[in-house]
Amino acid sequence: MGKRVIRGTGEVRLGDFRPGARIGDYVVDHEMPATGTAIIYAGHHVAIEERHVVIRIAPTSAPVEDIAFQLDELDHPGTPRIFDRGMLPDRRRWVAVEYISGSTVADVIAHRTMSPLECLALLRDVCDVLSPAHSRGIVHGNIRPENIVVPDDRRTTICLVGWEGARLDTSLELAPLVRDGDYIAPEQLRGVVDDARTDIYALGVIAHRALHGVLPHERSQKGTSLIETLIDQMLNGRAELRPTTPRLRAAVAYLCAANQIEKKQSWIVPTVAVDLEAIDELTEVCDELPTHE
């Protein structure tokens, strides 16, 4: 399913900067898909060419709470670093965020499903990144397979990118985001203000697709394994019945410990970046998790 705007207001001026134009100390390489009311460019530092960035330009009408300008406060290896920020002559704000290169969940699930143990490790690592953000009241708001990256520099097991539309859960305004329809929570379709539980729902959709190869609405059969039960809870149509981030993190940590999945183990086999076609031959088959009696 393609991306679509499900809500949003504010000015968007596309094509402001062509390749080679300067924004602060950064050179624009090309325009990227927008996230709601923001314009996004790929670029690099004018003097440090290996410093590749994502440049986000927010409209003048953007709220002061624009969390993309506060990512550096998280200080987590699983989130991109903020390199620079500034204001254009027309008073629109911009921020240059580290570009993370590597393999993504989207790369993997396009070719194969994940084993239950891989899926558990994936949930563990994403929860480890989301937890400090959610504890500060920051909602990612754009959890999708292509935004979960195993960085090439292997500084951590995963990096969560796509924070350009992040927001505070105390906001009373609807988030003006471009969303992938497959990962939109039911309450978002009803026009309810986002909070951390919408991130949990989107992560549940990703886990279901990674485990079964299809989206939740494409599979009528209910699973009975512990991880399937946990995913079903994440996909509850009533947001208040989904596990909170601390509860989800604790449950996943317990299951990882019970199955001896060490933190140093990535959810992805390293060869995926080299040969996606041969991945099934290189991946061992993991046993199913224990089921409920």
Q: Give the whole-number percent of the chain exceeding pLDDT 70.
A: 75
Q: Is 18 exposed, middle or buried (0-12, 13-18, 19+ CB in 10 A)?
A: exposed
Task: With a cut of 80, say whether residue 285 has pLDDT above it.
Answer: no
Task: With a cut of 70, say whether residue 166 has pLDDT above it.
Answer: yes
Q: What are the φ/ψ torsions at residue 278 (nearest 5 degrees)? A: -95, 10
Give the mean model confidence (pLDDT) for residues 236-243. Answer: 94
Residue pair 174/193 in contact by the 8 Å Cβ criterion: yes
**pLDDT, position 62:** 55
Q: Pick 167 or 228 by higher pLDDT.
A: 228
Neighbours of 121 (CB within 10 A): 25
Task: With a cut of 60, say whether residue 292 has pLDDT above it.
Answer: no
Give the mean model confidence (pLDDT) for residues 113-118. Answer: 91
**pLDDT, position 265:** 57
Q: Pick 27 or 261 by higher pLDDT.
A: 27
Domain ranges in the chain are 21-98, 102-268
Neighbours of 266 (CB within 10 A): 18
Task: With a cut of 70, say whether residue 57 has pLDDT above it.
Answer: yes
**pLDDT, position 290:** 41
Task: With a cut of 90, say whether residue 13 has pLDDT above it.
Answer: no
Q: What is the pTM for the complete model shown?
A: 0.79
Structure-token match 């994502």, residue found: 54
Can you give the length of the chain in residues? 293
**pLDDT, position 153:** 79
Counts of helices then strands in the chain (DSSP H, E):
7, 13
CATH number of 102-268: 1.10.510.10
Residue 282 and residue 272: Cα distance in Å, rounded?
9
The per-residue pLDDT for range 254-270, each reduced to its tens digit, is 998 888 887 765 665 44
Q: Pick 166 or 231 by higher pLDDT.
A: 231
Task: With a cut of 50, say whether residue 3 has pLDDT above it.
Answer: no
230 — pLDDT class (breaks 50, 70, 90): very high
Q: Is 265 exposed, middle or buried (0-12, 13-18, 19+ CB in 10 A)?
A: middle
**pLDDT, position 114:** 92
CATH architecture for residues 21-98:
2-Layer Sandwich (3.30)
CA-closest candidate to residue 112, choices 278, 286, 231:
278
Residue 186 and residue 197: Cα distance in Å, rounded?
11
Mean pLDDT for the chain overall: 78
